[in-house]
Structures are given as C-alpha cells and as structure tokens.
Structure 1
C-alpha cells in the first residue's frame, strides 16, 4: 500500500459567493456494552474528534473541497488525512457557516466558509495517517458543536455525551436507542 499524503495548497479550492467551500464529517462507531455473562446490553455511539497544531481544542475532520472531487469524496478524504479513519458516509448533517481568521485569501478576504458536514460510520482505523498528532482538550469551534448537537445528535436522537481517549483519538460517546442504516 502506498504512503498516504495530505493535499496542500489552495489552487484546486472551490469558492462560491465569497465563501470557501469546506467538506467534513463527524466520524462515529457503535460500541456495545456487555453484561456479566458476555451478552450485548447497551449500545452507545462513539464520536471521534481530533486535535490540530493550529490551536487548542478538538475538531472534526474537515478541509477544503477541491475542484476534482465531489463534496462526499472530500469529506471522506479529510477523515483519512486528518483522523486516520475510513468508513461510509451515512447522512448529510447540514451546511454550517463560519468565519476563519486563518483561511482568508483573495477569493474570501473575510475568511467566510461554508462547511458541508456528514456522519461517517468508521469501518477502519489506520495506524498512520498524514496529519497524525496528539489529542487536545475540548471542542474549539461553536459551529462544530452545533454540527454535533443539532445535526448529528438530532439524526441519531437525543442522548448523553461523554468523552474518552483511545488510540490517540478523542472519542465522545452518545447514548442512542436506535441504529439507522
């Protein structure tokens, strides 16, 4: 298998009406509790968040949607590049608008961004990926909290959230009474 390399630069970046187009996902997996006799009992959802070298706090994998890919392909690519996970997109969570101080350029001088966010069911965790780093402390951006709470949680149904660290990833568990395929 060839080495994974992150895309860099903005020459392929998509823009619409002064907004840089972003694609991202909320990676998740189902985690089952077991009873004392080893039988499955309670089903929980673990949500993966990542840290970034650009500042404190946790993020969902996201990045520029480029001209040579669909928005779904960009969301899947970002999950591999930034979080080291592969999986299946299960649901479009919505579009989220934000302003970035670091993403200002000639096509979006105010740093306006529009992020298309998806739920990605994790099927594989990679040992190594292009942007591997150590975990951070808490979710950095309010629009990402909104994507989790209003998009992802609404899609699953209301539940409890808790956070745990595993394999250099931060996992947020959401209790969910149902599994939607």
Structure 2
C-alpha cells in the first residue's frame, strides 16, 4: 500500500501513479478505483483542517515494472504481500478497512463480470 499526497497540478490518478514510483519503485496501470477513505493525519494539520481530516483515494495498480532504484528507497522497502498479509501489517484501521472493502469490491465485481461473460456463451 502506498500512501501520499497529490500536487495542485495533477489529478488523483496521476498522484497515485507518482506515489507508487516514489514510495515503492513500481510503475504500472491503474486498474480500478477502489474507493475514498477518510482519516485523521497528525502530520497534515493546518489552518484549513486543524483536526487533520484527510481523504485517501485507493486504486488497484497492475504492476508492469519494478525499478532497481527509486526516490524513497533509503527510507522505504518494497515487499510483496497477499491482501490478508497486507491487512495484518496495516497500522491504521482506515487502511485495513480500505484494503478489505476495496479489494473485496474489486474481486466481487470481477467475478460478476466473468459470470456475465460465461452466461453469454
């Protein structure tokens, strides 16, 4: 799971792709929007949001390339996990919820589409 902010001159999709490169050293194709999730940030409190209220957008990314070096590799490592393993390692409840609900929805939607194709044969 990659978590980061987005700049004023980019879309949330562009930010997700950029953060994947910066934090995990991967490039790929955004496959699906999994949902918005609200959380409180201790580090992003300001005059606009003194409570630190933030909104995260989660996307499924089909990884096409693993970079040998990336901007934040000195402070972050890349580890491949299953969704249940990732859920176990999340330190924040909103991240666990986002992974569980987001990928469950994605999996259920994919299964429904496959069933519709099979019924049409």
| TM above 0.5 | yes
Work out which of the residue numbers 91, 96, 112 in structure 1 matches 2:32.
Answer: 91
Q: Gaps (5+ residues) in structure 2? A: 80-87, 115-121
Distance 1:152 1:131 in 2: 26
Q: 1:179 to 1:134 in 2, by over 3 A?
A: farther
Whether the 8 Å CA contact 2:24–2:77 is kept in 1: the answer is no
In the TM superposition, structure 1's runs of 4+ consecutive aligned residues that sit over 3 Å from their partners are: 134-137, 176-180
Cross-structure match for 2:92: 141
Whether the 8 Å CA contact 2:24–2:78 is kept in 1: the answer is no
Give CA deviations for 1:23-78 in whole Å, capped at 9, x if unaligned: xxxxxxxxxxxxxxxxxxxxxxxxxxxxxxxxxxxxx2121121110110001000
SS in 1 for 2:99: helix
* Greater strand content: 1
**TM-score, length of structure 1 as denominator length:** 0.51
* Greater helix content: 2
Whether the 8 Å CA contact 2:23–2:70 is kept in 1: the answer is yes
Q: How many residues are treated as equivalent by the alignment? A: 103
SS in 2 for 1:87: strand
Written as runs of structure 1 = structure 2, the 5 A alignment for 1:11-22 is none
Work out which of the residue numbers 86, 89, 105 in structure 2 matches 1:154.
Answer: 105
Distance 2:72 2:101 in 1: 28
Whether the 8 Å CA contact 1:104–1:110 is kept in 2: the answer is yes
2:62 matched to 1:111? no
SS in 1 for 2:39: strand
With 96-105 and 133-142 compared, the bigger mean Cα shift is at 133-142
With 134-143 and 82-91 compared, the bigger mean Cα shift is at 134-143
